[in-house]
Structure formats: C-alpha cells, structure tokens
Amino acid sequence: MRRQFDNLAPRWDTMRDPAHLASHERALEAIQGSPAHILDLGTGTGAAALAAARRFPEAEVVGADLSEEMLAEARRKTPPELAGRVRFKQADGARLPYQDGAFELVTLANMIPFFDELARVTAPRGWALFSFSVGPETPIWLPPERLRAELSRRGFSEFADFQAGTGTALLARRREPV
C-alpha cells in the first residue's frame, strides 16, 4: 500500500475535487475551544492538516502518513506562515509513536480508522473528526452508525453529523475517564 501512495503522490492533489474538504471544514468550525495539539492521520499531501492549522492558528499540528512521498509533497506545499507549527511525520496508524492523550483533536479525512490507536492518542474531552469527501461513494467509507458504535465502545460521545458539498463528516468527543 505504501508503494501505491508513493507513486500517486506527485499527482494526488490533481485527483481531488477542490471542495473535497468541505464537510471536514464545516465540522472543524463546530469544535468548541481551540485545541493546542492536533493530529491528522493519513494526511497524504497535507490538505486536512493545513486546514486545521488555518482554523486553529495557535495549534501545533502533526500530519502523519505511511507514505514518505506523500509527506514530501505536504512539506513542499506548506506555506511559510504555517511551517513553524505544522510538521509532517511518517507513522503507521496502527502503531502511532505518540503518547496516550497527546492530542486534543485527531482528524481523519478519507482514512482507514484504527480505532484503538485513535482512542489512545485522543485526550479526554478531545475530539475525533472523520470526513469522507464524497460521502458513501468515498473508497474508504464507514457508515456513521458503525463509526458511532466503534467510538462509543472506546469512550467517545457527543456525536454530530455534517454534510457539505458531496461530503459527509462525523465529529465525536472523548468522555472524561471515570
């Protein structure tokens, strides 16, 4: 899989609809407060990581992806005004190299969810955002009912659905530990 995305990296952005993050950005607008640490899993060429950095101008953002070529494209297109607080790191979503509760917001745009790792790195009262650029037509898509069920089992609640353009998004908040 890594090789496939490495090969797609130079043309990945030309394959995306300009509005592919519309639902993602709508969900970002609904987040209360300002997360200090944000992780974008499966960042690809960094579009969702950069959107989060623009939305939350005080946040440190990490875009993580398995493909080093995708990350090279993300670094190349990062504007200078965001370069000081947006980093792109190679990481496997199934075994993330981050501490428990390290992020107040974890985003996944068209990404396979590794629910256990997502829950592990999301801080209590932190947010998880899943977006799908063309809703159920997205190649990597999970129905909202499945997302809610998996996230509920891992301590998330306060679910909200969003739709914009052709995309859908689901936002969830992690409960405080009891």
The 10s digit of each residue's pLDDT in 20-42 is: 699 999 999 999 899 999 999 99
CB atoms within 10 A of CB 24: 29
Number of domains present in the structure of the chain: 1
Average pLDDT value over all residues in the chain: 89
Whether residue 113 contacts residue 22, with contact meaning beta carbons closer than 8 Å, is answered with: no
| Cα 124–chain centre separation | 17
Give the pLDDT confidence of 37-82 residue by residue, as tens digits: 999 999 999 999 999 999 999 999 999 999 998 899 999 999 999 9
Please tell me the predicted confidence (pLDDT) of residue 80: 96
E strands present in the chain = 37-41, 60-65, 86-90, 103-109, 122-132, 156-164, 167-174
- CA end-to-end distance (rounded Å), the chain: 39
Please name the residue ranges forming H helices in 101-143. 115-121
Question: Please, which pLDDT band fits residue 139 given cuts at 50, 70 and 90?
Answer: confident
Whether residue 161 contacts residue 170, with contact meaning beta carbons closer than 8 Å, is answered with: yes
Give the pLDDT confidence of 73-120 residue by residue, as tens digits: 999 999 999 999 999 999 999 999 999 999 999 999 988 899 999 999
pTM over 0.85: yes
Q: What is the CATH number of the domain that holds 157?
A: 3.40.50.150
Expressed as residue numbers, the domain containing 38 is 2-174
Whether residue 141 contacts residue 151, with contact meaning beta carbons closer than 8 Å, is answered with: no
Bridge-based pairing of strands 37-41 and 60-65 is parallel
State the Cα angle at 40 between 150 and 105, rounded to 5°. 65
